[in-house]
Amino acid sequence: MAPPGTGTLVNALAILVGSGLGWAAGRRLPERISQTLLQALGSLVLVLGIQMALTLSSAAQAVTVLLALIGGALLGEGIDLEAAFERLGQGLEKRVSPWLGPSPIARAFVTPTILFVVGPMTLLGAIQDGLGDPSLLLVKAALDGIATLAFTASLGWGTLFSALPVLLVQGGVALLARQLQPLLRPDLLAALEATGGILILGIGINLLGLARLRVANLLPALVIVELLVGFFPLWDLDF
């Protein structure tokens, strides 16, 4: 049994290593190759989001996710999480760009952050990590490290800051693993996966330049859908 939090630390380290390798590679890539790489990433993320969203198996489940997205949009737009992320990114860019050069840090920070912290692998892996089993997060670390390398090569060094939210979110869940174990109910995980899939679908659309979606402002939907499934019977209705 590994010490609690081992998988989270390895995951954050993989993102930092991937960022470093991607930054070194990206400086040598022509702009057209970086753009093609970004389009390839966008296509893959789009498919991943669709695959997750298609776990919905009934109209009742679709309505539940829709209600969560509506509530999440109202709450997220009221707080304007997207603008908060952008202000944070711009502040980091001012302080770091004199040493590392220019980077669209707001985009480079927000996009991988949402991708890395949304989905059942994060929750399930972090809870298992807190209970001494880091195996799922070690797999996630490998995937995140490879994805970060590709993101950094096309978006710049700003992706390295996505390691901090991963560390905070997964580390926090790992610390509260025993208290959060009830969230591993199959219906709660399925609802989280479907809702997260729609957010990831939005990231893919943004990466491909098909539209400009404020995906960060939908993040409260992940909490709302868990509350809806946990306290109301709508998810399990047969229609």
**pLDDT tens per residue across span 125-144:** 898 898 888 999 999 999 88
What pLDDT is recorded for position 93? Answer: 67
pLDDT band at 14 (very low <50, low <70, confident <90, very high): very high
Reply yes or no on whether the pLDDT at 102 is more than 60: no
pLDDT for res 76? 92
pLDDT, residue 99, reads 62
Nearest Cα residue to 196 out of 158, 160, 159, 169: 169
Whether the per-residue pLDDT at 96 is higher than 70: the answer is no
**Where residue 220 falls among pLDDT bands split at 50, 70, 90?**
very high
Distance of CA 206 to the CA centre of its chain: 14
Please indicate whether residue 17 or residue 2 has the higher confidence score (pLDDT): 17
Task: Kindly report the pTM of this predicted structure.
Answer: 0.84
Residue-wise pLDDT tens digits, 149-208: 888 888 877 788 889 889 999 999 988 888 888 878 889 989 988 999 999 999 889 888
Higher pLDDT, residue 39 or 158: 39
pLDDT score for 100: 57
H helix intervals, the chain: 6-26, 31-53, 59-79, 81-100, 105-117, 120-130, 135-155, 163-175, 177-180, 186-207, 220-231
Distance CA 28, CA 30 (A): 7
Q: How far is residue 165's CA from residue 171's CA, in Å, rounded to a whole number?
A: 9
* Average per-residue pLDDT for the chain: 85
Average pLDDT over residues 91-98: 67
For the chain, give the number of residues: 239
Q: Which residue has the tokens 């790489």?
A: 37
User: What pLDDT does residue 194 have?
Assistant: 93
Please check the confidence at residue 88 and state whether its pLDDT lies above 80: no
Compute the distance between CA of residue 17 and CA of residue 21 in angstroms, rounded to an integer.
Answer: 6
Of the chain, the percentage scoring pLDDT greater than 70 comes to 93
Q: Which of 81, 36, 35, 43 is nearest to 200 (CA)?
A: 43
Pairwise CA distance, residues 133 & 218, whole Å: 31
Asked if residue 104 has pLDDT above 70, the reply is no
Mean pLDDT score, 21-31: 78
Helix axis angle for 81-100 and 105-117, nearest 10°, is 120
Confidence grade of residue 218 (pLDDT, cut at 50, 70, 90): very high
pLDDT at 97: 62
The total of other beta-carbon atoms located within 10 Å of residue 178's CB is 10
- Long-range own/partner contacts, residues 40-44 (CB < 8 A, 24 or more apart): 40/150, 41/147, 41/150, 41/151, 41/154, 41/207, 42/204, 42/205, 42/206, 42/207, 42/208, 42/209, 43/204, 43/208, 44/204
